[in-house]
Amino acid sequence: MILGIDVGGTHTDAVLIDDGKVIKKAKVTTNHDHLLTSLLAATKETVDKAIIPLLERIVLSTTLSTNAIVQNKIGRVGLLLTSGPGLSPASLNAYPDTRFLAGSINHRGKEMERLNREDAKQAAADFASEGIRNIGIVGKYSTRNPQHEFELQKIVGDRENHVTLGHRMSGHLNFPRRIATTYLNEAICSLYLKFADSVADFTLKKGINIPVYILKADGGAIELSRSVEFPVQTILSGPAASVMGTMATANSKADAIALDIGGTTTDIAIFAEGIPLLEPLGVTIEGRKTLIRGLRTRSIGIGGDSAVRLQMGKIVIGPNREGPAAALGGEFPTPTDAMIVLGLATTGDRQKAVSSLAPIAEFLHCDIPETAQMIFTETCRRIASAALQFLNEISNKPAYTIHALLTDRKIEPRLIHVVGGPAKQMAPEIERLFITEFDVANCRAHIPPNYEVANALGAALARTTAEITALADTEQKILTIAEDGSQTEIPVNFTLADTIQACRNKLREKILEIDNFLQEPEIEIVESQEFNIVDEFCTTGKNIRVKAQVKPGSIVECKES
C-alpha cells in the first residue's frame, strides 16, 4: 500500500492506494505553524494501526519551500563565485554577500587560471565574522571540472558551515542559473531541515519504519534523507503533484493538455504521449531562473473567482481576484456568478449573482442569462487560447541539427484533462471551443476520477526521477559525470557507446540506491553527440556528450476505484 500526502497552502490531503486503487481519502485544513499536526490529522482517517505494517511507500508533497521563497523567509547565504572571463561580475551580482574569486575553467574543463586560495580564505573568514553559516560555492564550467569548487569546499567547509556546491545542482550549462539554484538551496536549507525533522517525528509517532519520499518539482520522488542535500528541488511540488495526479488517473498515452482551474489561476501543463513535459533548463521562481528540473507549466490569471469587468466595451476576465464570487458576498461579478446564473452551479445566493451581472448586461444591451453565457464562454475561451499559445511556444523551440529541424514532431493534443473546482462545468465548453473556434480536431475533454485529491494521488504514485550528464574527452582521457563531480580516466579509444553505457550504469546505480521500490528503472538517453577534437587538421580525440534521465511517471498503474 502507498500513502500519498499533499500539504497544500489551504488543505492537506491524504490518499491510501492499494494495487493502484484509491481505497481511502481525507482532506483537512493545513496548520502552517505546526506541520506535524496537519500530517497527523490527515492520516488519522486514512491509516490505522492495522494498515501501518502494510505500507510500502509514503510520498509527501509540500509548499513549504515554495512559500519560504515567495514570502522571502530565507536565510543569509555567502556566495563564493569563480566567474572567469565572460559576463562581467556586475551583471551577476544580484545577491548580497557575494565574493568573486580569481580562478577559471574553460568549456573543455581545462584549468585556465589557478584558484586564488588566499582571497578565498579571507572571504571565508569575513563570512564567519558576519555569522554567515550557509555558503554557496559556484564556478563557471564547474560541471565540466569541479576541482575549484572542491578546493573551496575544503577552505570553508568546517563543521559549522553548511555548504552547497554548484555542480551538484544540475549537469546543465548555465552559470547564472547555477548560482541562483545554489543560492536558493542554501537559503531554504535550515527551514527544510526542520521540516525533515517533523516528518521523522511523524513516522516515529506513527510507528512507521519505511523510507519516506518527497515530491520534487519535476514530478519525481526523492528519499527524505537524500532530499536534505537538495531542498531546492522540492519547490513547486504543488503544481507538480497536480500534474502527476492528472497523469496517473488519466492513464493515457495520448498527447494532451492538462488544465487545473482554481479560484485565482489556471495552471496549464502539456503531455507528450502521456508524459508531462519538463522545462528545458529549469523552473523560474519569483523571477529567478534556476536549474531546478521541473515540469513545464504555465499559470494564467483566470479562475472561477476572477473579477469580471467591462473595459472599452468588452468583457475582461481577471487577471486579479478581488474576493469571492458576488453570490458569496464578493464585490465583483465572477465566472462563478455566471455559472450560478446559468444553473451550472448552486452555491451562494443566486439573486446576488444576478444583480452583480446587471450593469454589464445593461451596457451590452443583453439580458442577464445572455450576459452570463458570454462571461462563461469568454472565461473558457481565454483558458483554451492560453493553453494553445503555450503549446505553440513549445513547438517553436530551437533545434541545433539539420535532422532535428527537419523531423521535429509536433504535439497534437487529443485530450484536455480538466481538474479543479469548476472542472465539470467548464470542460464541455472548453472542448467545444477547441473544436469550433481553434480548429483542433479530434480533441475531447476529460475529467480524471478522484480529481479532488489529485495532488495527494500524484505524490503517492510518483516514481523516483534523476538525470545524469556525462562528458567523455578522449584527448584528455577524462570521463566527467557532472552531477556527481566525478572524473575518471578513460582510454583514448573510449566510444560513444561506452559513454552511453557508463551513463546508464551510473543512473541505474543512483536510482536503485535511493529507491528500493523500483525493480528496474526506465532509462532514456535524451542526448548523445560525438564530436572530433581537431588540432592542426588532425583528429586528436573525441568530445562525447551524453545525457540520460528517468522521466517522471507513475510507479504503479492507476485503476478506477
Partner 1 sequence: MGVERLKKTGLIFFPAFDWAISPTHPEREERLLYTQDQIFEEGLLDFDNIYEYKPEIAVLDDVNRAHICVPDAQSVVTESHLISAGGAITAARKVLSGEVDNAFALVRPPGHHAMLVVHGARGFCNVNIEAVMIEYIRSHYGHKRIAVVDTDCHHGDGTQDIYWNDPDTLCISLHQDGRTLYPGTGFINDFGGPNALGATINLPLPPETADEGYLTAIERLVLPLLDEFKPDIVINSAGQDNHYSDPLTNMRVSAQGYATLNARLSPDIAVLEGGYSIERALPYTNCGIILAMAGLDYSNVREPDYNPDKLRQDVSVTRVIGEEIDQVLRLWDNRRNMKKQLVGDSRYINRNKNIYYDTDGIRERQIETVRICNDCGGFVRIESTASSGNSIFAVILPSRCCPECRAEGEESYAGANRGKYDHIYFQDRERGVFLSR
Q: Is 390 in the site for partner 1 (CB under 8 A)?
A: no
**Helix H or strand E segment including 177:** helix 175-187
Coil/strand/helix, residue 485: coil
- Near partner 1 by CB under 8 A, which window of 233-241, 248-256, 353-361, 391-399? 391-399
Question: In terms of CB distance, is 143 or 379 closer to partner 1?
Answer: 143
**Alpha carbons 132 and 160: distance in angstroms, whole number:** 10
- Near partner 1 by CB under 8 A, which window of 243-251, 316-324, 450-458, 526-534? 526-534
Coil/strand/helix, residue 467: strand
Which residues from 276-315 bind partner 1, rule CB under 8 A?
289
Binding-site member from 73, 118, 367, 531 for partner 1 (CB under 8 A): 531
**Alpha carbons 21 and 428: distance in angstroms, whole number:** 27
**Alpha carbons 336 and 323: distance in angstroms, whole number:** 12
Q: Is 112 in the site for partner 1 (CB under 8 A)?
A: yes
In the complex, what is the shortest distance from the CB of residue 147 to partner 1, in angstroms, rounded to a whole number? 16
Residue 231's nearest CA partner among 197, 277, 206 is 197
Binding-site member from 5, 15, 141, 336 for partner 1 (CB under 8 A): 141
Question: In terms of CB distance, is 107 or 194 closer to partner 1?
Answer: 107
Residue 442's nearest CA partner among 418, 414, 411 is 414
DSSP 130-171: TT--EEEEEETTTTT--HHHHHHHHHH--TT-EEEEGGGT-S
- Near partner 1 by CB under 8 A, which window of 119-127, 238-246, 416-424, 530-538? 530-538
Q: Is 99 in the site for partner 1 (CB under 8 A)?
A: no
Q: Is 402 in the site for partner 1 (CB under 8 A)?
A: yes
Question: In terms of CB distance, is 185 or 379 closer to partner 1?
Answer: 185
Which residues from 154-183 bind partner 1, rule CB under 8 A?
172-177
Binding-site member from 129, 160, 346, 400 for partner 1 (CB under 8 A): 400
Q: How many residues bind partner 1 (CB under 8 A)?
A: 43
Q: Is 396 in the site for partner 1 (CB under 8 A)?
A: yes
Q: Which residues, at least 6 apart from 355, have a Cβ–Cβ distance to it below 8 Å?
A: 326
Binding-site member from 399, 492, 497, 526 for partner 1 (CB under 8 A): 399
Question: In terms of CB distance, is 91 or 442 closer to partner 1?
Answer: 91
Phi, psi of 164, rounded to the nearest 5 degrees: -115, 135
Coil/strand/helix, residue 271: strand
Per-residue burial over 449-470, b = 16 or more CB atoms within 10 Å of its CB, e = otherwise: ebbbbbbbbbbbbbbbbbbbbb
Q: Is 492 in the site for partner 1 (CB under 8 A)?
A: no
Q: Is 347 in the site for partner 1 (CB under 8 A)?
A: no
**Alpha carbons 189 and 288: distance in angstroms, whole number:** 17
In the complex, what is the shortest distance from the CB of residue 217 to partner 1, in angstroms, rounded to a whole number? 18
Q: Is 485 in the site for partner 1 (CB under 8 A)?
A: no
C-beta of residue 46 within 8 angstroms of C-beta of residue 443: no
Binding-site member from 23, 87, 310, 497 for partner 1 (CB under 8 A): 87
Q: Which residues, at least 6 apart from 172, have a Cβ–Cβ distance to it below 8 Å?
A: 143, 281, 282, 291, 469
Which residue has cell 449573482? Answer: 353
Q: Is 84 in the site for partner 1 (CB under 8 A)?
A: yes
Which residues from 532-551 bind partner 1, rule CB under 8 A?
532-534, 536-539, 543
Residues that bind partner 1 (CB under 8 A): 84-91, 104, 106-108, 112-113, 140-141, 172-177, 289, 396-403, 405-406, 529, 531-534, 536-539, 543
